[in-house]
Structure 1
Amino acid sequence: MSCECSRVPSDTVEQRKTIKVALALNLAMFVIGVGAGWAGQSTGVLSDALDMLTDAAAYALALMAFSRGFAFKKNAARWTGGILVLLGVGIVGEVIRRWYVGSEPVGSVMLAYSVISLAVNLYVLLRLTKYRRGEIHMRASYICTRADVLANIAVFVSGGIVMVTGLRVVDLVVGFAIGLYVLKEAIEILREANGAGVAA
């Protein structure tokens, strides 16, 4: 007797491939970003790198959700939102700590990392765009990546300002803004998860 469980729709296979690529790229950028963030003493870069780790967790949850029921998919989105809440609070806390302790962000490091990170996130976002109206776990993945693109642009702009003007406080402002934006995206994901109807 053949197992019908092995018959996976082609669109689901494509979604899995997309999420696997996104997971691998985000884990790689997290490692690179943490090193660049500490070396460049940049709150913006470090915040962006931590956001990459959060996205990797969201993508891992999305992968598990493919073979699970609707309830698991909703819970996966809730977990994603919850992780983003913790990340947003952590970023804001780190910005406050560095405000008092002090830091010397390096503009060139911020620019270099943000360019690479932006290229990665734009690639992932383009692959996820077709699923932005899909199931809740895929919508959550799309929202996370969209937030990353905006964060990358903010880090790039702040890195340029730091390098040209030496206004290091710009890095803290951008880090704080990323933290607040991550919290906003977390709330959006949680609303999506809690508002999702029962699967047909």
Structure 2
Amino acid sequence: MAGDCCESACGSTKALNEPRWRRALWIALAINAGMFGVEMFAGSAADSHALQADALDFLGDAANYAISLLVAGMPLIWRSRAALAKGLTLAVLGGWILVTAARAAIIGTSPEAATMGVVGFAALATNATVALMLYRFRTGDANMRSVWICSRNDAIGNIAVVAAALGVFGTGSAWPDLIVATILATLGISGGVQIIRHAGREFQEAAT
């Protein structure tokens, strides 16, 4: 998940000296930010909480790339503030998705399996494209390797969304969508909390 990659993706600045690496990160940032918006919109339109939860991965990766590109060369206190903002955003969004999923379970919903499947496949193709683009940097420093591994691992969440879509289609029930949403949102909250704790320690170090 995205939150698990923050420390290594945000902590190294060595890789930023390579123009090809910076260009790849800018492209990955644009793609992930765009897919975050697409999945949040599609999830709302299709009443799919799994899509909304999967969007957290794209948000987390986009934030990782932005931190690496924009604030990695700044003092530690600014980097910790940026990471703290990311952690809070992931935790809040994850909590919101859990609340809305619980509400959907109570009142009953019927997510659109077709939209879930199409957008889930698009998200999977997106992460595969980013992973292939970053493949050449997989043997670089920890920062380079972590970014590639994050994109590769995020495909697991996309596969889970596609599986949820098949489950909704096959059973006519919203439970596959809600179960996947709960798992992904919980992982997003966990990652956000870890980032907040790490950023807090760095902020204290910078303050002293």
TM-score (norm 1): 0.75
- Contact persistence 1:54–1:87 (CA under 8 A): no
Q: In structure 1, what is the Cα distance between the partners aligned to 2:125 and 2:28? A: 12
How far did 1:88 drift?
A: 1.6
Going from structure 1 to structure 2, the CA distance change for 1:133 and 1:189 (only over 3 Å counts) comes to: farther
Q: In structure 2, what is the Cα distance between the partners aligned to 1:132 and 1:44? A: 33
- Whose RCO is larger (CA < 8 A, sep 6+)? 2
Q: In structure 2, what is the Cα distance between the partners aligned to 1:147 and 1:132? A: 18
Which residue identity lines up with residue 142 of structure 2 in the other structure?
R
How far did 1:15 drift?
A: 3.5
Q: Structure 2: 5+ residue runs without aligned partners?
A: 1-13
Q: Which moved more, 1:119-128 or 1:36-45?
A: 119-128
Q: Which moved more, 1:91-100 or 1:79-88?
A: 79-88
Q: In structure 2, what is the Cα distance between the partners aligned to 1:28 and 1:13? A: 23
State percent identity of aligned pairs. Answer: 29
**Structural RMSD (CA):** 3.4
Q: State whether structure 2 residue 42 is matched by structure 1 residue 33.
A: no
Structure 1 residue aligned with 2:161: 155
Q: In structure 1, what is the Cα distance between the partners aligned to 2:185 and 2:116? A: 17
Going from structure 1 to structure 2, the CA distance change for 1:155 and 1:10 (only over 3 Å counts) comes to: closer
Please point out which of 104, 107, 113 is paired with 2:113.
107
Q: In structure 2, what is the Cα distance between the partners aligned to 1:132 and 1:185? A: 22
Structure 2 residue aligned with 1:134: 143
Structure 2 residue aligned with 1:61: 67
How far did 1:87 drift?
A: 1.9
Structure 2 residue aligned with 1:4: none
Q: Structure 1: 5+ residue runs without aligned partners?
A: 1-7
Going from structure 1 to structure 2, the CA distance change for 1:185 and 1:150 (only over 3 Å counts) comes to: farther
How far did 1:130 drift?
A: 5.0
How far did 1:32 drift?
A: 2.2
Q: In structure 2, what is the Cα distance between the partners aligned to 1:57 and 1:47? A: 16
1:138-165 alpha-carbon deviations (Å, 9 max, x no partner): 95x6686466433212111111111122
